[in-house]
Amino acid sequence: MISISIAAQTTTKKTSVYFETDQFILSLESKASIDQALALDSVTSITNIFLTGYCDDRGSISYNKTLASRRIWSIIDYLKPQYNYSTFSEVAIGEVPLVNLKNINQQRKNNRRVDLEITYERKLPIPEISAVSTDTLTGAASYDIFKDSLKIGDKLVFNNVIFYPGRHKLRPSSFPVMDSIINSLLLHKKYEIEIQGHICCLAPGIYGRDMDTGLWNLSQARADQVKQLMVKYGVAADRLTTVGKQSNFKTGKGDYYDRRVEIHITGIREEVVEKKKQN
């Protein structure tokens, strides 16, 4: 069939929004500067807005971390009507120490800010013949992943079960391997598993915010999303447990691969093993 492919040129622009002392509400001037930075022509779209929040050196570390997050979310809330949640990714740094004792007021003024790194894509349509893509499990190639030799404590890591930044929604590229995982679990009914959700970008022990729900449970939500998909396609729910691991275990491969789930073998149902032997 005839479809449209897109030739895209990607560019990145940086801008900053500044705040008064101990404030996170956007001023009219700040809103105008954001609008100007995000102005587009008819063939340009914004694919990602990465927000980094800072505070000056006054106040406790925990207070400044929260304030930095509130500054970030004041901008996201302002932009929400125009963009999907998947457009945003964010990290709250919090306090920025003084460099020296000169120009202290100016340093603090510069540190009360949110930096926006905006990724633009300029698209030029090119008609061509191409196949229809799908974001469902139907028709995906399937491979047997859970071999009979797995033991309790074994861990399976999938580099291509990946999520959108700040969300519990799987990227479409994850569905083929999810199909293989589910079909293999249906074949090897003896395994009980724990689905472990992970996030990127934050320090260990900190819960990430799920931009789909607003709740601070992103790693748990990712694990629950995978379980929900498995149950939907026939895996018994009592074989599956979930846990959110926050950002405690990085892959060392970067943020993209840290937004993931891992599967751990937690049990082997001996009655299933015996039944298989008898057959």
pLDDT category of residue 46 using cuts at 50, 70 and 90 = confident
* pTM exceeding the 0.85 threshold for the entire prediction: no
Alpha helix segments (H runs only) across 123-236: 175-187, 218-232
Q: Count of residues for the chain?
A: 279
Per residue in 69-79, pLDDT (tens digit) is 999 999 999 99
pLDDT category of residue 11 using cuts at 50, 70 and 90 = confident
Q: In b/e form, how buried is each residue of 208-228, taking b as 16+ CB within 10 angstroms?
A: bbbbbeeeebbbbbbbbbbbe
Whether 126 shows a pLDDT value over 90: the answer reads no
Per residue in 129-163, pLDDT (tens digit) is 222 223 334 433 445 678 788 899 998 887 778 88
User: With contact defined as beta carbons under 8 Å apart, do 198 and 72 qualify?
Assistant: no
Domains detected in the chain:
2-126 (3.30.1330.60), 155-278 (3.30.1330.60)
Q: Percentage of residues in the chain with pLDDT exceeding 90? A: 46
Res 163: pLDDT: 87
Q: Tell me how crowded residue 177 is: count the other CB atoms within 10 A of its CB.
A: 19
Main-chain dihedrals φ then ψ at residue 33, nearest 5 degrees: -70, -35
